[in-house]
Amino acid sequence: MKPTRIAFDDALQKVRDHAYAGPCEVLPVIMANGRILAQPVVAQRNCPPFDMSAMDGFAIRKDTLKLPGDHSLWIGEAQFAGEPMRPLSKNEARPIYTGAAVPSGTGAVLVKEKANIAGTSLLLSEALMAGANIRLTGEDARLNETVLDRPIRLNPAMVGTLSAYGVTNVTVRAKPRVAILVLGDELAGSEDATADQIIDANGPMVRALLEDAGCSILQHTRIKDDAQAICEALCSALDNGVNMIISTGGASVGAKDLLRSSVEAIGALIYFHGAHMRPGKPVLFATSRSGVPIFGLPGNPVAALVGARFFIMSAIRAWYGMSGEQPILRWSDCQDSGQTRILKAYAKPTEAGSAVVVLPGQQSHMMRSLLAANAWIVQGGDQPRRLFPLFDLLNDRADE
């Protein structure tokens, strides 16, 4: 059967329409790096938890800050971080260290380097600004304040910040469980390929992309061009409870391209087979009877990568409860070509913005330029030209 092709952007929307959000789970913050936040997070304590010194220096009483003339203050016992706070006595200048609780009655902290010390006294010869070098309770975060409120990929800085705010657990999306099926009689692994075989690049590449997106790979199988074997692999993946099936190869219309007929044989519903795009025209998207997304990526490596980068990542974003990805740059010109071209590119920041270069070797089998690429230009299809990063960072802050 001849594939029914749809526009690239319509295909992306079709994927989002039939993908679904995954379940949630609760994890300790320390184990949540790289996971996608599913529920808002509120601070569990004030940060700082108390008024504290921002510098090593001397705590000076409020009633001493703006007295006229020179004043001699006696130097009291030092206040270190972690020690209980002791009230500040009249005419006392107490040595205090960064992170230590500011004594009650303190108006400012005089930086140690600016202190004029004579024996056991501190000579105060100029007025201090009230509040100088004091970190106030809750100035970074207040108790019960919402500090993260959207689906976002947690990073090490967030893990540390949430820990400082007293957050011990966060609710994240479960990892999608995925099966990868690599189709083709001609394929072999790099360790055992003969001279007349092609080394499978798609399997390792798609697996790496999925793992980087937080997926758990339950099945990764290389399959011959055999309809029964393909059907059995599809059914096995569904029986194993995967949330998504990705195949590479066998998606076109040749005599040994058996994916579509195999998908139909297991009762899956095909939403599109073929898109007006280059590379990646033969891409297939379906769902099983139970609603599990099934993707058929082309066999040419760059076409497979493009399909995974845009279509599969669109489904993964839906699983994580995230909005659709937005380009990092959108040009005003609109190309009316019916076919969408997706070009390997290199974007270099400049003082004027970004300089974007289309790389050589745009054919769907040419991988060399991927070693230099850091972006994709998406153009044509009656849409403005758009620039996307080479891989979706799953960070909705880029959408703002």
Question: pLDDT digits over 292-348, tens only?
Answer: 999 999 999 999 999 999 999 999 999 999 999 999 999 887 766 679 999 999 999
Q: What DSSP line would sit under 228-266, residue for residue? A: HHHHHHHHHHHHTT-SEEEEES--SSSTT--HHHHHHHT
What digits encode the pLDDT tens for the residues 88-124?
Answer: 999 999 999 999 999 999 999 999 999 999 999 999 8
Distances (CA, A) of 234 to 170, 183, 353: 34, 12, 47
Residue in 328, 342, 315 with CA at minimum distance from that of residue 396:
328
Burial of 348 (0-12, 13-18, 19+ CB in 10 A): exposed
Distance CA 192, CA 395 (A): 39
Question: Beta partners for 329?
Answer: 387
- pTM for the whole thing? 0.89
Peptide bond into 279 cis (omega under 30): yes
The size of the chain, in residues, is 400
pLDDT at residue number 336: 67
For the cut 60, the answer to whether the pLDDT of residue 228 exceeds it is yes
Domains in the chain: ranges and CATH = 8-22+175-320 (3.40.980.10), 26-47+141-173 (3.90.105.10), 52-135 (2.170.190.11), 329-389 (2.40.340.10)
Distance, C-alpha 230 to centroid of its chain: 33
Specify whether the CB–CB gap between 380 and 342 falls below 8 A: no
> Whole-number mean pLDDT of the chain?
93
Residue 66's pLDDT is: 73
Q: Cα–Cα distance between 252 and 237 in angstroms, integer?
A: 22
